[in-house]
């Protein structure tokens, strides 16, 4: 049976889960908008101490690749890549939107679309739509809330995520019912592990980050006042 370690640092939480023999064997989750770098390794060590897994005994590792915060994604990806390379194991990437949509399958009826979204500020949302079985109906995208109607199917909708109410409120002209899911609005490594376990046979290479927005901080294009361009 598959043994897999999953990590999530993509949004405002940090979580680690060990998947073993078809179920979660160990789990840690802490809500946190920042501080993932300090929290992640101790949480991995706690799960390892609790479950007794060895990295060489894993079949694979999994990590969320975005969309999310730049710092959080870098922390999770760098840690997961380092562990996977050191142990010689495959690393499976799962998007944060997949991770919040997956549990909603239990609520979604046939003919309904799951709308997973995160509040991206600036009147925007990270958004993707899924079928009730978890299959993607659209690609992950950064969309304007003023134009969100163009990014959802003409079906009954079930919304999940930190952007769920924002998206619902902007769909006033949608002709079908729109519900809010009771599922957690943030990714959880337990769900990431379950999704990744089903993808293990196709795991190949090291996944990169899914950035849908350019970073806010940019390098200066001109020398700063008082700086020099060469040795003094």
Residue 24 shares a structural domain with residue 89: yes
Residue 128 shares a structural domain with residue 156: yes
> What value does the mean pLDDT take over residues 14-42?
97
Give the domain range for residue 20: 3-96+186-202
Residue 145 shares a structural domain with residue 191: no
Comparison of pLDDT for 226 and 59, the residue scoring more: 59
* Chain segment 70-121, per-residue pLDDT in tens: 999 999 999 999 999 999 999 999 999 999 999 999 999 999 999 999 999 9
Quick check: bond before 117 cis, omega within 30? no
Residue 129 shares a structural domain with residue 78: no
Residue 83 shares a structural domain with residue 190: yes
Over 60: is that where the pLDDT of 222 sits?
no
CATH number at residue 47: 3.30.420.40
Q: Shortest CA distance to 62 belongs to which of 90, 88, 40, 85?
A: 90
* Chain segment 174-197, per-residue pLDDT in tens: 999 999 999 999 999 999 999 999
User: Is residue 164 one of the residues assigned to a domain?
Assistant: yes
Structure tokens at 60: 């694979």
Residue 83 shares a structural domain with residue 193: yes
User: Residue 165 burial (CB < 10 Å; 0-12/13-18/19+)?
Assistant: middle
Q: How would DSSP label each residue in 136-182?
A: BSS--EEEEGGGGGGGS-SS-EEEESTTHHHHHHT-TT-SS-EEE--
User: Is residue 33 one of the residues assigned to a domain?
Assistant: yes
> What value does the mean pLDDT take over residues 30-54?
97
């Amino acid at each position: 049976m598959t043994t897999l370690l999953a990590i999530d640092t993509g949004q405002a939480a940090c979580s680690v889960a060990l998947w073993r023999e078809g179920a979660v064997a160990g789990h840690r989750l802490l809500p946190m908008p920042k501080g993932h770098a300090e929290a992640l390794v101790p949480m991995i060590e706690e799960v390892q101490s609790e479950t007794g897994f060895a990295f060489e005994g894993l079949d694979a590792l999994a990590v969320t690749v975005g969309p999310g915060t730049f710092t959080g994604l870098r922390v999770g990806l760098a840690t997961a890549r380092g562990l996977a390379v050191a142990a010689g194991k495959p690393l499976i990437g799962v998007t944060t939107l997949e991770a919040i949509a997956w549990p909603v399958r239990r609520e979604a009826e046939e003919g309904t679309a799951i709308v997973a979204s995160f509040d991206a500020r600036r009147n925007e949302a990270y958004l993707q739509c899924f079928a009730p079985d978890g299959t993607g109906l659209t690609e992950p995208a950064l969309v304007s809330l003023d134009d969100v109607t163009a990014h959802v199917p003409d079906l009954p909708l079930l919304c999940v995520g930190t952007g769920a109410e924002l998206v619902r409120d902007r769909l006033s002209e949608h002709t079908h019912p729109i519900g809010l899911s009771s599922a957690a609005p943030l990714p959880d490594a337990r769900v990431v592990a379950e999704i990744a376990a089903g993808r293990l046979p196709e795991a190949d290479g090291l996944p990169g980050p899914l950035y849908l927005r350019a970073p806010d901080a940019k390098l200066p294009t001109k020398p700063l006042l008082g700086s020099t361009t060469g040795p003094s």
